A and B are shown apart, each in its own frame.
Chain A
């Protein structure tokens, strides 16, 4: 079945350093890939979504590139900010689902230190 793997459970880094959170996936078909961000006691919110035309999605300084050859959709940002501290989920939606049914990875808790 379809699945998403996030290898880092916890990432801690210093403000100003680059961020890279890993995401790989397995799917029978070409799924849509997403990154969601969840701040403490808040709802998960969509951060990025892959495009079918291979454009690189960007939002709030974050970007991710879908690499079908390696089944990856890593999240990157050039310079971390304190406000980036949150829980990040990578997710996929199989095109066969007929809706935006999401399969999530286990999540990566990002902590940015001053």
Chain B
């Protein structure tokens, strides 16, 4: 069990460019979550899927952020027209019936 896998681990984009972050949840886990981590805000919930269906995206900035889960083995978080304030660590997590497991995150830097 390799755990939740996130790629890339680090990504640098220019202001205004698009960034796509990938997550491979643990096999068999039905729920997948995305969080954003910054020093100032800590861990903020963005969105989650259950059995690939979007359930709650209340934490997502509406205009430039989108998330998809096209199959049970991966989810993507896409940020269009990236801005410096989008710089953060983006964490993906998946859950069994008893526990949530996090990936190591993708550190996004917008320059």
The stretch of A17-25, A55-63, A65-73, A95-103 that contacts the partner chain: A95-103
Size of interface on B: residues with Cβ below 8 Å to A: 24
Q: Return A74 CB to nearest CB of chain B, in Å.
A: 18
Any A CB within 8 A of the CB of B100: yes
Contact residues of B between 63 and 80, Cβ < 8 Å to A: none
Known: A99-B48, A99-B50, A101-B48. A89 touches B31 (CB 8 A): no
Point out the residues of chain B lying under 8 angstroms from A46, CB to CB: 99-100
Any B CB within 8 A of the CB of A35: no
In the complex, what distance in Å separates the CA atom of A49 from the CA atom of B99? 9
Any A CB within 8 A of the CB of B61: no
In the complex, what distance in Å separates the CA atom of A39 from the CA atom of B33? 20
Any A CB within 8 A of the CB of B25: no
Point out the residues of chain B lying under 8 angstroms from A89, CB to CB: 42-43
Q: Return A76 CB to nearest CB of chain B, in Å.
A: 21
* Secondary structure class of chain A's binding surface, majority of residues: loop
In the complex, what distance in Å separates the CA atom of A68 from the CA atom of B22? 39
Point out the residues of chain A lying under 8 angstroms from B50, CB to CB: 98-99
Any B CB within 8 A of the CB of A41: yes
CB-based contact B91/A99 at 8 Å: no
Any B CB within 8 A of the CB of A31: no
CB-based contact A106/B42 at 8 Å: yes
18 A-B pairs with C-beta separation under 8 A:
A36-B102, A42-B104, A43-B102, A43-B103, A43-B104, A44-B91, A97-B56, A98-B55, A100-B95, A101-B56, A102-B43, A102-B45, A102-B100, A103-B45, A104-B42, A104-B44, A105-B42, A106-B41
Residues of B within 8 A of A (CB): 3-4, 30-31, 33, 35, 41-45, 48, 50, 55-56, 91, 95, 99-105
Residues of A within 8 A of B (CB): 36, 41-46, 49, 89, 91, 97-107
